[in-house]
Each structure stands twice: as structure tokens, then as C-alpha cells.
């Protein structure tokens, strides 16, 4: 699962709530600090690249000094990224691999949307608060100047960009504690059964009730298609949204998709990739379905 939200939206609050329920939290900001602590190869590489001036007297990284050097040019920024990104990726993979087999792993990534990472996750949770309220909170609780707060928010993804990738949209505009019950229901009714379905190879069955056409169906389908392309890679030639939810008719609330296999020899490998990525095999030849009880989907390979 991926967790994100704009600066000041309360993502850390939701992360803590999920951890309290039992989630394994992989915090990208914490990892980014960890890999450049004193004595690490990461910090040594940064000093080699940017000089000892990026260190405080106590040997810790002076982030402001590093930023002044690393963001002065495209080449310097690329050099910084070439040092830190592999270390962050390696540590992230280690934490995920060390989690129990039945763990619900939540990756806390502030710039998930900006980095185009949403398709890599089988569920994306976005924590939202109106921009003006976020400015107020940043000024009050983090003592950030108003102009600085507005500039930082403006540099991040827009609400529309976040909404486009959000499977779960948590409105954190209320008072402290107002999300507790909602996160609890999310955990019990969606995250826990989702993990169990993936692990046991079960498809989440849609309710057999016709509902009014939902204008969100096309956007939901596009999110699924983006994930399927990540899972399928070159094993798929095309992926399409089909059926009543694609036509905008009243229908059973299930997204129907077709996956055209690149060649017959790829079909079994594709099936295995789909099952491992949250789309277990269903009844029938070359049929799969979503393990997510919050977004039922049916896939037909052809």
C-alpha cells in the first residue's frame, strides 16, 4: 500500500493510526535520513562528492549546506540522486522483505504522486486537507513562515493530481481524532481482507446489485490499467476497460477489463504476475479478478 498527502495534511497521523492497527510502516523520509547518518557509506559518498563543508561540527549532515550545493545545477542534483536513491531503494527493499508474510506493508511516501509511483502500489491512500488549512497548520504547529508554507505547497502535486491516483481519499479537515474510526473501518473492511485475499488467492466478489452509473468508474479503471501494465510489462499487448461500467450504464459495480497477451507463451507467466500483484485467478480459462474488496474487478486474458 502507498500512503501520501500534501505537506501539513496529517499523513503522519494516519501512518501512526495504521501502525497502531498493526501495519508495517516503511517511512521514506526516515530511510532517507538513516542512509546518510554519521558513519554510513552514504554520508561518506556525499562528502566525497560535495566536500566536508556539508557536515556540521559534530559530523552530522548539514542539509541546508548540502541543498545549497546539490540544487545549484542539474548535474549536481543528478549526482546527489545517484548516491542517495540506490541506498534508499535498497533499504526499502530490505524492510519490505523482512516483514512477515501476512503483514500489511504501508509505504509512507510524501512525493508518491510527484514521482509517478502510484502504479507500483496495489492501493494508494491520500490524506487531504484544504490548502488554506494546511498553511495555517504549518504556521501554527511547525512555525513555518506563511510565504514559505505557500511556496512549499505550490511546489507539490495539486489536489486534482492526487485525486486521480487515490483509491482511498481521507479528508483530515476535522478535529484531532476525527479520522480514528474511518481508518479503523478501512483497516478492518478493506486492508485486512485485501491482504488475506492476495495471500490465499481469493477474488473479491462484487455485490450482485445494479447501481446507478458512477462517473468515477473510468478513473478507477485507469488506475487499475496503470497497475496492470506494471505487472504485465511486455507480456501484454493491450489492456482495455470494457462492459457496462465502460459504457456509463447502470450496472453491477465491477470494472471489467481485457488483457491481450503479447503471445501465447507469455500467458502463464502473465497469470502468475497478476496473481502475485493482487489479481488472483478466477473461475474459467484465463480469468482473473481483483483481491480488493473495495474495488471489485474482472479480467479476461485473450
Q: Which residues of the chain have pLDDT under 70?
A: none
pLDDT number for residue 73: 84
267 marked among binding-site residues: no
pLDDT number for residue 163: 96
pLDDT number for residue 252: 95
Pairwise CA distance, residues 128 & 171, whole Å: 5
pLDDT number for residue 285: 74
pLDDT number for residue 11: 94
The residues that bridge with 171 in the sheet, in sequence order, are 128
Going by C-beta distance under 8 Å and a sequence separation of 6 or more, which residues neighbour residue 135?
Answer: 8, 146, 149, 150, 153
* Bridge pairing between strands 124-128 and 105-108: unpaired
Structure-block grid coordinates of residue 218: 473510468
Structure-block grid coordinates of residue 173: 479537515
Which of 222, 217, 267 is CA-nearest to residue 243?
217
Give the domains, in start order, of the chain with CATH numbers.
1-23+104-200 (3.40.50.300), 30-95 (no CATH), 210-301 (3.30.460.10)
pLDDT number for residue 227: 97
pLDDT number for residue 188: 98
Whole-prediction pTM? 0.91
13 marked among binding-site residues: yes
Pairwise CA distance, residues 59 & 292, whole Å: 47
pLDDT number for residue 69: 86
16 marked among binding-site residues: no
The residues that bridge with 24 in the sheet, in sequence order, are 105
Pairwise CA distance, residues 159 & 167, whole Å: 14
Ordered strands of the 236-242 beta sheet? 236-242, 255-261, 297-301, 287-289
10 marked among binding-site residues: yes
pLDDT number for residue 265: 84
Amino acid at each position: 500500500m502507498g500512503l501520501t498527502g500534501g505537506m501539513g495534511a496529517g499523513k503522519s497521523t494516519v501512518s501512526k493510526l495504521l501502525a497502531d492497527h498493526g501495519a508495517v510502516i516503511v517511512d521514506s523520509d526516515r530511510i532517507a535520513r538513516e542512509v546518510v547518518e554519521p558513519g554510513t557509506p552514504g554520508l561518506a559518498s556525499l562528502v566525497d562528492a560535495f566536500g566536508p563543508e556539508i557536515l556540521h561540527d559534530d559530523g552530522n549532515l548539514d542539509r541546508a549546506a548540502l541543498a545549497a550545493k546539490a540544487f545549484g545545477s542539474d548535474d549536481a542534483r543528478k549526482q546527489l540522486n545517484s548516491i542517495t536513491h540506490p541506498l534508499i531503494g535498497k533499504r526499502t527493499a530490505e524492510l519490505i522483505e523482512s516483514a512477515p508474510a501476512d503483514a500489511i506493508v504501508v509505504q509512507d511516501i510524501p512525493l508518491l504522486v510527484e514521482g509517478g509511483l502510484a502504479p507500483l502500489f496495489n492501493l494508494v491512500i491520500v490524506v487531504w486537507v484544504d490548502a488554506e488549512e494546511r498553511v495555517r497548520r504549518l504556521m501554527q504547529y511547525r512555525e513555518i513562515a506563511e510565504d514559505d508554507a505557500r511556496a512549499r505547497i505550490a511546489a507539490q502535486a495539486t489536489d486534482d493530481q492526487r485525486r486521480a491516483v487515490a483509491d482511498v481519499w481521507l479528508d483530515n479537515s476535522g478535529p484531532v481524532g476525527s479520522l480514528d474510526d474511518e481508518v479503523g473501518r478501512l483497516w478492518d473492511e478493506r486492508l485486512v481482507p485485501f491482504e488475506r485475499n492476495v495471500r490465499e488467492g481469493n477474488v473479491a466478489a462484487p455485490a450482485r446489485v445494479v447501481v446507478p452509473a458512477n462517473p468515477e468508474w473510468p478513473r478507477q479503471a485507469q488506475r487499475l490499467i496503470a497497475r496492470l501494465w506494471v505487472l504485465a510489462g511486455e507480456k501484454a499487448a493491450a489492456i482495455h476497460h470494457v462492459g457496462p461500467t465502460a459504457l456509463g450504464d447502470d450496472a453491477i459495480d465491477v470494472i471489467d477489463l481485457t488483457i491481450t497477451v503479447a503471445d501465447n507463451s507469455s500467458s502463464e507467466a502473465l497469470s502468475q504476475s497478476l496473481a502475485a500483484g493482487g489479481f488472483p485467478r478466477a473461475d474459467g480459462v484465463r480469468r482473473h479478478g481483483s483481491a480488493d474488496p473495495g474495488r471489485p474487478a474482472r479480467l479476461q486474458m485473450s
